[in-house]
């Protein structure tokens, strides 16, 4: 029993929660490996459970997603100013790239040459991003839970809490949103909340009376969610021993932080399986496209999987808006904050918040890992 706990300290030291990616350098995500490594059986099991896939289907999907992730930057460059966004289509197993209707035949051919499927749309990604940026510059009422660019719908989607749909402040915000550009309003059942928790048992890290989860190892420490602690706050591990100190933290506006590590704790490029599934090695941080599968590890609910629903979403928490989050269909619960999101063996980000739970379902957002690395000049620890 003692040996098991010591092993968990070694791993928990820096990856208590989930699936953060680890890039070779802090300035860019690592490229997808030329040869696909052996996939963790635990990752496949979680995908089978949460996505309704067979083991063979999960393996095939991961291979297709690796190809789509590698093709996306090439397809974006080929589309140029006609680029309207992209996503992974789970039915075709290919990357779909939206291209504006005025694009030339040579542009369309260049995009298809990358292996992507082309869909013609009215608005470019630049136009949609501009419309979203106008909303980012405004203050939203609490009844508005967030907004994002949806490349498949070729519009900016604004989420409104059902109970607040008729609120005057919400209606005024929606009028401003429609004036900013193409907007679609979606009704959601509950507002977003962060997933920190009070002190309870388990394998967490603690700061004050707050329990959160470790995201990914970096050289010198680990990354996690910003709402879990302020700079200078001390951090202790599952056994109560001192780990280190919050060196940087930002929340709201962003939701990221990093903690220095010492006192006998060390970093490893691993996302924990919690004894339910084998631990997952982290090999890079290539960004998964919309539609790709993604899994999360956290100290409360452990392994759960889903898909990427949106990139660069603004989420309106009660504490204030947080920008550039990625939306997923993965569930989470209090205490999972800061934990890892991983797609295959590529780290994606740290858990920020969401709505719902892992009994009835819900959605979550994560802060992309590459942004955190760039902000603090960190280097992710990779296998």
Alpha-carbon distances, residue 58 vs 41, 48, 182, 222, 269 (angstroms): 10, 7, 36, 29, 23
* CA count, 13 A, side-chain hemisphere, 163: 4
**In what helix (H) or strand (E) does residue 352 lie, and over which residues does it extend?**
strand 346-357
Are 50 and 361 spatial neighbours (Cβ–Cβ below 8 Å)? no
DSSP 144: E
Angle between the 125-136 and 168-180 helix axes, to the nearest 10 degrees?
Answer: 150
- Order of strands, edge to edge, in the sheet holding 210-212? 197-198, 210-212, 205-207, 234-236, 242-250, 256-260, 221-224, 216-218
Q: DSSP letter at 228? A: G
Active site residues: 227, 255, 337
- Cis, peptide link before residue 343, omega less than 30° from 0: no
Q: Cα–chain-centroid distance for residue 56?
A: 25
Q: DSSP 3-state assignment of 239?
A: coil
Question: Where do we find the tokens 């599952």?
Answer: 238
- CA distance linking residue 218 with residue 224, whole number of Å: 11
Structure token digits, residue 197: 């928790």
Q: How far apart are CA 285 and CA 73, in angstroms?
A: 14
What gap in Å lies between CA 373 and CA 219, rounded to an integer?
A: 11
Burial group, residue 117, by CB count within 10 angstroms (0-12, 13-18, 19+): middle
How far apart (Å, rounded) are the C-alpha atoms in residues 373 and 61? 28
| Residue found under tokens 């996690």 | 224
Which residues are CB-contacts of 169 (< 8 A; sequence separation ≥ 6)?
141, 143
Secondary structure (3-state) at 178: helix
């Amino acid at each position: 029993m003692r040996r098991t706990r010591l092993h968990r300290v070694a791993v928990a030291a820096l990856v208590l929660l989930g699936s953060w990616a680890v890039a070779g350098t802090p300035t860019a995500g690592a490229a997808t490996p030329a040869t696909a490594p052996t996939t963790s059986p635990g990752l496949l099991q979680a995908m089978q459970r949460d996505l309704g896939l067979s083991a063979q289907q999960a393996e095939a999907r991961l291979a297709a997603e690796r190809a789509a992730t590698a093709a996306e930057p090439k397809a974006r460059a080929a589309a140029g100013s006609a680029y309207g966004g992209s996503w992974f289509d789970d039915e075709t197993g290919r990357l779909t790239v939206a291209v504006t209707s005025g694009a030339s035949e040579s542009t369309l051919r260049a995009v298809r040459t990358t292996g992507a499927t082309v869909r013609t749309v009215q608005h470019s990604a630049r136009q949609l991003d501009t419309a979203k940026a106008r909303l980012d510059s405004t203050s939203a009422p609490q009844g508005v839970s967030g907004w994002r660019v949806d490349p498949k719908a070729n519009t900016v989607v604004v989420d409104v809490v059902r109970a607040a749909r008729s609120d005057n402040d919400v209606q005024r915000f929606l009028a401003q949103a429609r004036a900013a550009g193409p907007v679609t309003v979606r009704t959601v059942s509950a507002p977003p909340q962060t997933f920190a928790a009070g002190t309870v048992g388990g394998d967490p890290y603690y700061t004050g009376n707050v329990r959160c989860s470790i995201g990914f190892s970096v050289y010198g420490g680990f990354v996690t969610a910003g709402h879990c602690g302020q700079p200078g706050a001390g951090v202790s591990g599952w056994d109560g021993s001192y780990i280190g100190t919050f060196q940087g933290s930002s929340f709201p506006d962003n939701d990221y932080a990093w903690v220095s590590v010492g006192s006998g704790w060390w970093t490893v490029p691993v996302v924990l399986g919690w004894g339910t599934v084998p631990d997952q090695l982290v090999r890079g941080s290539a960004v998964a496209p919309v539609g790709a599968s993604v899994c999360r590890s956290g100290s409360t609910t452990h392994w759960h999987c889903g898909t990427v629903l949106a990139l660069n979403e603004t989420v309106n928490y009660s504490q204030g808006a947080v920008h550039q989050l990625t939306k997923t269909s993965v569930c989470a619960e209090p205490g999972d904050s800061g934990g890892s999101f991983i797609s295959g063996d590529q780290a994606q980000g740290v858990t920020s918040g969401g709505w719902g739970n892992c009994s009835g379902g819900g959605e979550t957002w994560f802060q992309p890992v590459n942004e955190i690395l760039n902000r603090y000049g960190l280097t992710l620890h990779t296998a």
